[in-house]
Amino acid sequence: MISLRRETEADYRIVETIIREAFWNLYVPGCTEHYLAHVMRDHSDFIPELSYVALADGRIVGSIMYTASKVIDGRGEYLDTITFGPVSVLPEFQRLGIGSMLIWKTIDEARTRGERAIIIYGHPKNYCKFGFKSSKDYGIASMDGRFPYSLLVLELEKGTFAGGRWRYQESDVYNVDADKAEEFDKTFEHKEKKYQYSQEEFRMSSRAFVE
Ligand SMILES: CC(C)(COP(=O)(O)OP(=O)(O)OC[C@H]1O[C@@H](n2cnc3c(N)ncnc32)[C@H](O)[C@@H]1OP(=O)(O)O)[C@@H](O)C(=O)NCCC(=O)NCCS
């Protein structure tokens, strides 16, 4: 039986462990997402009300976390948006619908809170099924003016970005200090960093842009 609930402080370490298990060696050798989760909770952009865990028979097996973000237009006007990530499910519980449950539930919550849009960096194959589209379709570029393949937008309030030319600014919490992440990782059980072919796809998609 799968259930979802808001994350509490008592869940922090177990959630970090799940994130580490899910991301380890997937996109780069090792990973830093568990450290990102760790620092995110003390950051002013963190949105605890949207951070959920998934439980399988009472055991936490998945998590999603949200931060405040914004889009800025040429005149410096901005609109508040939100961003999720990391989202993760323990490898042995993946492909059972748990990640989708976490995403659908928090999309619903975000809509109820009156959020206008969710903007993420993520693989389209994971997110288009929830209604995410290329940021280019809404005129939303990254801060350097390009349209990354992985920059995806779910408009919750139709027409929010209509006619605008925007740049997406995510929370600075995502600029993880690699040395601090390395130190933090030593507080977990040792895991071997290694190459996996999934890292190639990530290297390609993270350097791909939409025309
Ligand atoms: C991405 C992630 C959170 C998805 O979680 P998940 O629980 O595996 O997601 P779901 O089970 O809801 O969906 C995954 C796939 O399983 C399929 N699926 C869902 N329930 C299923 C079932 N009962 N039987 C078979 N397949 C099923 C879904 O259709 C989906 O397939 P698709 O990608 O071909 O559409 C998880 O894979 C993960 O933690 N990955 C590592 C970390 C990561 O990459 N995070 C995202 C960074 S962008």
Full pLDDT tens readout for the chain, 211 residues: 999 999 999 999 999 999 999 999 999 999 999 999 999 999 999 999 999 999 999 999 999 999 999 999 988 899 999 999 999 999 999 999 999 999 999 999 999 999 999 999 999 999 999 999 999 999 999 999 999 999 999 999 999 999 889 999 999 999 999 999 999 999 999 999 999 999 999 999 999 999 8
- The response to whether residue 126 sits with its C-beta less than 6 Å from ligand 1 reads yes
164, amino acid identity: G
- The response to whether residue 23 sits with its C-beta less than 6 Å from ligand 1 reads yes
Task: State residue 76's pLDDT score.
Answer: 86
Interval between CA 159 and ligand 1 midpoint (Å) = 29
Cβ atoms of 149 and 205 closer than 8 Å: yes
Give the domains, in start order, of the chain with CATH numbers. 2-189 (3.40.630.30)
Residue identifier of the C-alpha nearest atom 44 of ligand 1: 23
Closest atom of ligand 1 to CA, residue 129: 35
38, amino acid identity: H
Give CA separation, 83 vs 62, 68, 152, 197, in Å.
17, 6, 10, 27
Strand (E) or helix (H) holding 98: helix 98-112
> pTM for the full model?
0.96
Interval between CA 90 and ligand 1 midpoint (Å) = 11
Task: State residue 57's pLDDT score.
Answer: 94
- The response to whether residue 96 sits with its C-beta less than 6 Å from ligand 1 reads yes
